[in-house]
Amino acid sequence: MIPGNRMLMVILLCQVLLGGTNHASLIPETGRKKVAELQGQAGSGRRSAQSHELLRGFETTLLQMFGLRRRPQPSKSAVIPSYMLDLYRLQSGEEEESLQEISLQYPERSTSRANTVRSFHHEEHLESVPGPSEAPRIRFVFNLSSVPDNEVISSAELRLYREQVEEPSAAWERGFHRINIYEVMKPLSERSQAITRLLDTRLVHHNVTRWETFDVSPAVIRWTKDKQPNHGLVIEVTHLHQAQTHQGKHVRISRSLPQGHGGDWAQLRPLLVTFGHDGRGHALTRRARRSPKHQRSRKNKKNCRRHALYVDFSDVGWNDWIVAPPGYQAFYCHGDCPFPLADHLNSTNHAIVQTLVNSVNSSIPKACCVPTELSAISMLYLDEYDKVVLKNYQEMVVEGCGCR
C-alpha cells in the first residue's frame, strides 16, 4: 500500500469539500478560475503567481504518486509503438468490437508477473556490423537506463517485423530463413572477435507478413538485475538455400531495407519489450469489461454513497505525455452515516459503536463516509526519455463506499 495513493483520495476529498458539487473535477473550481485568469492575462500580479503555485502543487503530488521524478516532456518525434497501444486496449478491456481488429496475442504469461511494460527502440547511432559474415548480422543496443532500480524485470521479448515475399511456387523451398538472436558478451575489439551467445532462434518461411517474438529475458535480466554491462544484441538472418535473391529484404532490421519502404520504419523497426514489477500492487491481469454496478435506490438519497468524479488529465495539461486514457472515472464517497447504521452502508462493528456513542455524546464524531473498495487502472504514457510505458496503478477507482 503506498501512501501516495491515499494522497489522491485526500485531494479528491478536499475538492469535494471545496466544491460541494456532484460532478467535481481534478482542479477545484477556485483553482480552475485562477488558471483561466492566468491564461487570460498572462504575467499579471499576485493572483496568477498563486494559481501557478496551486497547479504546481497538484502536479507534484500526482507525479510522486506515479513514481516519477519530474514531469515528462515528450519530444515531437516520440513514437508510440502500435504494439503498446494494442496491449493497452486489450488490457483495459475496451469495447469488444474495437478489439476484434487487434491480431495481437495477449502475453498472458509475461504480464501475470508484471505491473509495468516498457518498450524500447535501439540506438541507431550505435548500430554496427560485428565481424565478417555472409549473412546480414547487425548489432543493436537498447538503452535500458530508464528502468528504475526498484523495478524487477521478469521477462523481455524482442519483436521483429517480417514481410511476405511474393514468389512463384516452384521457388517455395528457397523461402526458408533462420533468424538467430544473440547476446553480445564481449564486443569486437582489435585483437579478438566478438563473443556472443545464442538466446533464441526460429525457422520461418517468407510466405507471410507478421511480427516474430523472441525471448531475450536472460540478457535483459543480466543487464538490469545483475548490473552486467549491456553490449547489445545481434540479429542474424540466414538463408537455408544458396539462392540469395531476397537477401535482407524479408526481416525489417534495417532502416534502408527494403528499398523504398523507409517511411514506416518508425512503426516497423525492432522493438524490445520488458515486463517488470516494482512491488506495488497487482500484476497486469486482463480486465473484463466492467458492467456498471446496479445502484439500488435507497430510502435516503443523502446517505453515504458513491458519486461520479471524472478526472480529466488535460486539466493539468498532462494529455501530452499520458497517451491513454484521456481521463478516467475515479468516483468519490460522500453522504451521511446516520444512526443506526444500516447494513448496506458497508460499516464495521467499530463504526456502529462509534455512531451509537455519537447519538448520546455529540462530541464524539459520527463514522465517516469513505471508500471501502478501490480498483486499479492501467495507463499508457511517455516517460522522461520518450520511452513508452504501460503501467497498472492500484487504488485509483472507488468501487464501493461505506461508513467507517
The residue ranges that bind ligand NAG (CB under 6 A) are 123, 143, 145, 205, 207-208, 293, 304-306, 344-346, 361, 363-364, 372-373, 385, 399-402
Q: In the numeric block, which cell numbers belong to residue 127?
A: 548500430
46 vs 294, which CB is nearer to ligand NAG? Answer: 294
If the CB atoms of residues 28 and 402 are measured against ligand NAG, the closer one turns out to be 402
Q: Which one, 276 or 402, has the nearer CB to ligand NAG?
A: 402
CB of 117 to ligand NAG, least distance (A): 19
> Shortest Cβ distance from residue 142 to ligand NAG (Å)?
10
Helical ranges in 66-122 per DSSP H: 82-91, 96-99, 108-111
Provide the minimum distance between the beta carbon of 47 and ligand NAG in the complex, in angstroms, as a whole number. 38
Nearer to ligand NAG, 180 or 346 (CB): 346
Residue 107 and residue 105: Cα distance in Å, rounded?
A: 6
Residue 324 and residue 93: Cα distance in Å, rounded?
A: 13
Q: Among 95, 347, 353, 122, which residue's Cα sits nearest to residue 231?
A: 122
Residue burial 163-201, b: 16+ Cβ < 10 Å; e: rest: bebeeeeeeeebbebebbbbbbeebbeeeeebebeebbe
339/41 Cα distance (integer angstroms): 51
Judged by beta carbon, residue 31 or residue 402, the one nearer ligand NAG is: 402
> What's the alpha-carbon Rg for the chain, to the nearest Å?
27
- Considering the complex, state which of residue 372 and residue 378 has its C-beta at the smaller distance from ligand NAG: 372
Q: How far is the CB of 385 from ligand NAG (least distance, A)?
A: 5
Shortest Cβ contact with ligand NAG: which residue? 400
CB 23 within 8 A of CB 327: no
Q: Smallest distance, Å, CB 146 to ligand NAG?
A: 6
Q: Give the nearest distance from C-beta 380 to ligand NAG in angstroms.
A: 20
